[in-house]
């Protein structure tokens, strides 16, 4: 039984060695294509290698590199994170964070890139290339913040300008409204005053006409419809006697006049 077991173990080690060589061969073909700039073809080879050995840090890292070169930055970041989870080596982990920072910087995600470079330097503080990239990212971040600050300043300036413009417009509108209101009020007041004066004059004329008509009715009946003033019987007899006396006096005077008249005859 021991001999069989040993044979089986030897055969197993031989199979593992052949399998490892096959993975290495596939990965090396991908590296050659990558170096020739054939990134899409290299991606396929790295995927084949990863399918054969899913836990391979090398295959995962190389695949992420091929994706990065094709501009597939989101997929590349995902690949570098996967590679980082498959190793405990700080240097290898530092490289994954370095490349993640590069992919983020390509997407103009500057703050996130700065954090990735910092994580890389925590694992490998002596990496000069990462230090350089971090310094460059910090300069870009400061420039971006200054631009945002100036942009916000201009926006606030324009906003205040528009706000003041609207306020002045509203104030002028309200002022004109009040002026028109006062003008209309004064006009209505003057019109009402004139109207009242006209009404007073009209009423006065009407009253005067009414008073005048009353006097005429008392002094002179119109159209014969007015009533004669009433007199007492005694007054009527006095008036009648007076008329008789006047008539008698008049007849006496006439007779007297006729009596004093001389008729002259001609002296033949």
pLDDT band at 219 (very low <50, low <70, confident <90, very high): very low
Q: Report the pLDDT averaged over residues 217-246.
A: 62
pLDDT digits (tens, 9 = 90+) for 6-65: 444 444 444 445 556 777 888 899 999 999 999 999 999 999 999 998 989 999 999 999
Greater confidence (191 vs 120) lies with 120
Lowest mean pLDDT, pick from 38-42, 66-70, 195-199: 195-199
pLDDT at 58: 93
Structure-token pair, residue 30: 């991908």
Structure-token pair, residue 192: 């009402």
pLDDT at 178: 72
pLDDT band at 230 (very low <50, low <70, confident <90, very high): low
pLDDT at 256: 59
Distances (CA, A) of 120 to 74, 75, 110, 128: 19, 19, 15, 11
pLDDT at 227: 53
pLDDT digits (tens, 9 = 90+) for 134-190: 999 999 999 999 988 878 777 777 777 777 777 777 777 777 777 767 666 766 676
pLDDT digits (tens, 9 = 90+) for 73-121: 999 999 999 999 999 999 999 999 999 999 999 999 999 999 999 999 9
pLDDT at 22: 74
Distances (CA, A) of 108 to 21, 245, 258: 41, 144, 154
Q: Is pLDDT at 246 greater than 60 in this prediction? A: yes
Domain ranges for the chain, please list them: 9-137
pLDDT at 125: 96
Options 3.40.1180.10, 1.25.40.10, 1.20.1250.20, 1.10.10.10; CATH of 9-137: 1.25.40.10
Helix, strand, coil shares of the chain, percent, nearest 5, are: 85, 0, 15
pLDDT at 89: 94
Greater confidence (215 vs 121) lies with 121
Mean pLDDT taken over the chain: 77
Give Cβ neighbours of residue 45 (< 8 Å, ≥ 6 apart): 26, 27, 29, 30, 33
pLDDT at 112: 97
Q: Tokens 């002596």 sit at which residue?
A: 126
Using an 8 Å Cβ cutoff, are 237 and 245 in contact? no
Q: Is pLDDT at 239 greater than 50 in this prediction? A: yes
pTM, two decimals, is 0.55
């Amino acid at each position: 039984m021991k001999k069989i077991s040993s044979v089986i173990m030897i055969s197993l080690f031989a199979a593992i060695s052949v399998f490892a060589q096959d993975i290495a061969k596939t990965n090396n073909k991908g590296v050659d294509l990558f170096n020739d700039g054939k990134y899409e073809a290299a991606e396929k080879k790295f995927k084949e290698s990863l399918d054969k050995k899913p836990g391979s840090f090398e295959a995962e890292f190389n695949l992420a590199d091929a994706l990065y070169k094709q501009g597939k930055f989101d997929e590349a970041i995902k690949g570098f994170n996967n590679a980082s989870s498959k190793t405990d080596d700080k240097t290898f982990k530092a490289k994954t964070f370095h490349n993640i920072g590069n992919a983020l910087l390509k997407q103009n995600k500057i703050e996130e890139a700065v954090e990735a470079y910092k994580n890389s330097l925590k694992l490998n503080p002596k990496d000069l290339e990462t230090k350089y990239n971090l310094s460059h990212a910090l300069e870009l971040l400061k420039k971006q913040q200054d631009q945002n600050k100036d942009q916000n300043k201009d926006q606030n300036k324009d906003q205040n300008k528009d706000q003041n413009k609207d306020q002045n417009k509203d104030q002028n509108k309200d002022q004109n409204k009040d002026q028109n209101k006062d003008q209309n009020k004064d006009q209505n007041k003057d019109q009402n005053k004139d109207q009242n004066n006209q009404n007073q004059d009209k009423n006065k004329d009407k009253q005067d006409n009414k008073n005048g008509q009353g006097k005429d009715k008392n002094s002179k009946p119109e159209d014969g419809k007015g009533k004669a003033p009433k007199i007492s019987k005694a007054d009527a007899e006095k008036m009648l006697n007076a008329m008789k006396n006047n008539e008698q006096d008049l007849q006496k005077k006439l007779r007297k006049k006729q009596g004093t008249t001389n008729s002259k005859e001609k002296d033949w």
